[in-house]
Chain A
Amino acid sequence: MHAPEPPSSEAELLAALRSGDENAFSALVDACGPAMHRLALTFVRSSAVADEVVQEAWLGALRGLDGFEGRSALRTWLLRIVANIARNHASREARTVPFSSLALAHEARAERDPALPTDRFQGPDAPHPGRWVSFPTSWPTEPDSALLSAETRTFLAETIASLPDGQRIVITLRDVEGWSSAEVCSVLEVTENYQRVLLHRARTKVRAALEDYFTGESP
């Protein structure tokens, strides 16, 4: 997880950019470009298209720079441009577009189901409805990252890649990229609550996959 590094003064940076200062521009590309590219990759999943999206986003940013009013951080503004362009690309490819109204309505129906299989809990007629049938099996939860093997990391990456679009994008931004909830909502233009529902489902599935992976038992 990496926090974005704020420039010493965003106003100074903006003034330099508007005056055509190439060094200031290059520094901004180095500061925000990698996160923009990774964001594009969560939407389009082809590196050639992600490259195109990012290049187009920078052109959009150059065009919009004079009108940028600083209501959000420059970084957030750039990321939002990437998200919008990536969505347009996805719709041109006639794919389901993550966070479009159609995709939202579809996912929202599924979101009402419980995140965990209900048979993990005692039923309504049992002595203790809603209590664990059997406790979750323990697996290594040490925060020591050195214990996490390359194989485990690859397994996690594959698990995340297999999630539905909305969940995959939100867990990537929150937990891989380490964005705040506010930044995710601002860039994706979704509500905090909806963002958290997607995050919850994604984390629940990844936890279950890890349980399965570490204990060899069905989640």
Chain B
Amino acid sequence: MNNEFSCQEMTEVVTDYLDDALEPDESQRFERHLTYCAGCSTYLDQMRATISHTGMVPREESLPPALRERIVAQFRTFRRG
């Protein structure tokens, strides 16, 4: 009986696993594989780290002031029109 995930399959379903999108029996197979495979445990840790590191990428926090001003001015014009 060989319905275990291979390492290669593990790397293909890891995003489904993290998104909770695997069927319950697949999820169990995924977790069972982790119990005996150090390589896939490392891989999963690295995918999680990739996600949290990506969350640290800098991003613009507010609208450019001139744009904000134009949007509000547009609102006033629209309301009058």
Interface residues of chain A, those whose CB is within 8 Å of chain B, are 1, 20, 22, 25-26, 29-30, 33-34, 37-38, 41, 47, 51, 54-55, 58-59, 62, 114-116, 118, 120-121, 128-132, 135-136, 138-143, 145, 148, 152-153, 156-157, 160, 171, 175-178, 181, 192, 196, 199-200, 203-204, 206-207, 210-211
Contacts and interface: CB of A to CB of B under 8 A. Distances in A.
Interface size class of B (residues with CB under 8 A): 35 or more
A182 to B, nearest CB: 11
Nearest to B49: A141
B68 A207 contact: no
A131 B37 CA distance: 10
A34 B19 contact: no
B49 A58 contact: no
Contacts of B75: 22, 25, 58, 62
Interface of B: 6-9, 11-12, 14-16, 19, 21, 38-40, 42-43, 45-64, 67-68, 70-72, 74-76, 78-79
A203 B47 contact: yes
Contacts of B12: 114-115, 200
A37 B59 CA distance: 11
Nearest to B64: A51
A173 B7 CA distance: 28
Given A33-B71, A37-B63, A192 B7 contact: no
A83 B37 CA distance: 42
The 4 A-B pairs with the shortest beta carbon distances in the complex, nearest first, are A130-B6, A135-B39, A141-B49, A200-B15
B74 to A, nearest CB: 6
Contact of B63 (A34, A120, A132): A34
Nearest to A142: B49
